Structures are given as structure tokens and as C-alpha cells.
Amino acid sequence: MILCHELDVLQISQSNDFEIIKYTNWQELKKHLKELLADCKIVMMEISEDGMLAGCNYVDYGTAKMIEKLNKQLKLSNIISVFADSFRQFENI
């Protein structure tokens, strides 16, 4: 399942087989997040810790804060760290 803005639906829908839930404004985003995360206590997200790969954030700051205001605990996913380590090794070659 992917939650995305209506402007991104066409691009995303062509590249996967996931169910897509679209929103058009922040009120709809908040409503969908509240529904989707109702049973969750911890939410894992792709956020580049300490800005180590600033271009690799998949969640903007405002959305992350919106999720925290829903009383959810944010945890960083390991994927960004693994990619960053691999990228640093490549840079040193």
C-alpha cells in the first residue's frame, strides 16, 4: 500500500502493483495516516539520520511530525544506513 499525493499517482502507479491511496491536501493526508496507523505504536521510516544522505529522505519533516502528533514512535529504517555505508565504500575506491 502506498499513500501519495494525487500529483504522484500516475508515476507511481506505472511502476508497481501496490494499492494506492491518494490525498489532495494535508487534511486528507492526516486523515489517511490516522486510519492507516491506528493499530501501530511504532512507525519505521526512511529518514536520513543526521542528514547523512539528505537526498534520500522519503518522508518530509512535516509528515514525520504529523505522525508523531498521532502519538506514534518514529524509528529509522536500517535501509538508509546500509546504503550510506555502501556508498561511502564506493567513494573510497
Residue 10: domain span: 1-36
Give me the percent of the chain exceeding a pLDDT of 70: 66
pTM: 0.68
Check whether residue 52 and residue 14 sit in a common domain.
no
> According to the per-residue pLDDT averaged within each range, which of 17-21, 28-32, 50-54, 58-62 is highest?
28-32
Check whether residue 46 and residue 12 sit in a common domain.
no
E-only strand ranges, 11-56: 20-23, 42-45
Check whether residue 70 and residue 32 sit in a common domain.
no
pLDDT tens-digit profile of 64-77? 899 999 999 988 77
Of 9, 34, 36, 10, which Cα lies nearest the Cα of 23?
A: 9
**Number of domains composing the chain:** 2
Check whether residue 57 and residue 92 sit in a common domain.
yes
Check whether residue 10 and residue 26 sit in a common domain.
yes
Check whether residue 13 and residue 57 sit in a common domain.
no
Cell of 13: 502507479
